[in-house]
Amino acid sequence: MTVSRTYEVRTYGCQMNVHDSERISGLLETAGYQKAAQGTTADVVVFNTCAVRENADNRLYGNLGHLRPVKMANPGMQIAVGGCLAQKDRGTIVERAPWVDVVFGTHNLGALPVLLERARIEQEAQVELLEALETFPSTLPTRRESAYRAWVSISVGCNNTCTFCIVPSLRGKEKDRRPGDILAEIEALVADGVIEITLLGQNVNSYGVEFGDRIAFGKLLRACGEVEGLERVRFTSPHPRDFTDDVIVAMAETPNVMPSLHMPLQSGSDRVLAAMKRSYRAGKYLGIIDRVRAAIPDAAITTDIIVGFPGETEDDFTATLDVTRAARFAGAFTFQYSVRAGTPAASMPDQVAAEVVAERYERLVAVVEEGAWAGNRALLGTTVEVLVAEGEGRKDERTHRLSGRARDNRLVHLAGCDARPGDVVTAEVTHAAPHHLVADRVLDIRRTRGGDAGQRSDGPTPVGLGMPGRAG
Ligand code: SF4
């Protein structure tokens, strides 16, 4: 009797990588591997890497270094490296870590099982990377982490050229999936118990550019509104340059599209935005926010901001603080600029000193927190609908608290109740903290098909077949 080899996928970086890792797991399980039990040494360890920040390299080679003695002790063990850093570093990885067996890229996830087999038979490292997308990752088998939430990729790659970003050179130009393929996948997911989806793309607002429909994204949101049983629709990442009013109207008029928007600002200074090649200015950004709030008054808006971009002056930074205050963000991912080799910004003059960046960063975090807390305090005494989430929904043994996300994506800690991950709890907000709400007065628990699905599966879902689609 053949004993299944076990696998472990280690994921770094963005939601796109989380989505791809679910495909990598689905591929390996379709090829007969089994997910390794927590705390055991897997026969195959796959690193799905990120290349956005400098320390991404250090982290990968550090982890590979730790795995070397483990592999020496387990000769049959294999190590594979994929994702953006593999696409960037290519063969260098096996030169720096010759105990790595397979290197594959962002355009050929599907090749992994074959490359592992070939490396095993030929006892030689296999490095295979493509310049363009082989098959849409959504066509590959998947093993989702959640029974009732799912990522749905609508496009891969990006046509923008932000000077701090390496994504376009690693994931290529934007490729759009056909709306019919996306909706077929969503319907299959809902039939499988999913009640919340997140539409995924590097720039969802330019969705449709490849097949010449400039308002395709708004239409897609409306079409999601027609899917019976789909309770929550979210999307990431929008881009202010392409954010058109038809999307705001579609969000406002489609009940299952959630009132939350994560729209990267990056900087509040027009001079810095120009140097970043972000193709919009602070005024346009705030204008979009105002129109979103006019159409969806309870919308929660979050963002990404980079501090210390080359050439950033104190005045530029002050402009970022001003826009942050004016936007009243519910939260923000804030980053200290770090040089990324291979990006135009890496060779720009006037790189800002690390201590200056760190000092500004602290001031920005304080302003973001002040705004987020004020927004949370304004919700005291109101009622929220919380989708209880596994992981976040862990039962805190001491307080028996559950946690999950409100419709506006705010994190809510709930009083202990017998809701299951995937169920929806309506509760009254009794406490507000800078980064979360507490809702101790539970008013209703709605069992959902998502909760049933969560009960059915002992964790990640059974392998789902990939969806039809066409390569780029
Ligand atoms: S929009 Fe800019 S930051 Fe985002 S992936 Fe594209 S190039 Fe990178």
How far is the first Cα of the chain from the last one, in angstroms, to the nearest whole number?
Answer: 41
pLDDT above 90: residue 354: yes
**161 alpha carbon to ligand 1 midpoint, in Å?**
7
Spell out the domains of the chain, with CATH numbers in brackets: 6-128 (3.40.50.12160), 141-377 (3.80.30.20), 383-458 (2.40.50)
Distance CA 29, CA 16 (A): 20
pLDDT tens, position by position, 142-174: 998 899 999 999 999 999 999 999 889 889 999
- Pocket test of ligand 1: the residue of 160, 200, 263 to mutate, having most ligand atoms within 8 Å of its CB, is 160
**281 alpha carbon to ligand 1 midpoint, in Å?**
16
pLDDT above 50: residue 469: no
pLDDT tens, position by position, 86-105: 999 888 999 999 999 999 99
pLDDT above 70: residue 379: yes
pLDDT of residue 455: 60
pTM above 0.85, yes or no: yes
**335 alpha carbon to ligand 1 midpoint, in Å?**
15
pLDDT of residue 409: 98
Q: Give the amino acid at 157.
A: G
Comparing 137 with 314, which gets the higher pLDDT?
314
Listing from the earlier edge strand, what are the strands of the sheet with 383-388?
A: 431-432, 437-439, 411-414, 402-405, 383-388, 424-428, 441-446
**What are 36's two structure tokens?**
């390794």
- Pocket test of ligand 1: the residue of 165, 170, 266, 305 to mutate, having most ligand atoms within 8 Å of its CB, is 165
pLDDT of residue 338: 85
**34 alpha carbon to ligand 1 midpoint, in Å?**
35
Contact indicator for 437, 412 with CB cutoff of 8 Å: yes
Residues with CB under 6 A from ligand 1: 158, 160, 162, 165, 167-168, 202-203, 239
pLDDT above 80: residue 449: no
- Pocket test of ligand 1: the residue of 162, 171, 236 to mutate, having most ligand atoms within 8 Å of its CB, is 162
**350 alpha carbon to ligand 1 midpoint, in Å?**
22
pLDDT of residue 468: 38
Q: What share of the chain is helix, strand, coil (3-state, %, to 5)?
A: 40, 20, 40
Q: Which of 414, 418, 395 is nearest to 404 (CA)?
A: 414
Distance CA 287, CA 280 (A): 11
Helices (H), 78-178: 84-89, 92-96, 112-122, 167-171
**What are 458's two structure tokens?**
């002992």
Percentage of the chain with pLDDT > 90? 80
pLDDT of residue 457: 52
**What are 131's two structure tokens?**
């310049």
pLDDT tens, position by position, 209-256: 999 999 999 999 999 999 999 999 999 999 999 999 999 999 999 999
Helices (H), 378-468: 449-456
Distance CA 247, CA 221 (A): 8
Banded pLDDT at 25 (limits 50, 70, 90): very high
pLDDT of residue 52: 75
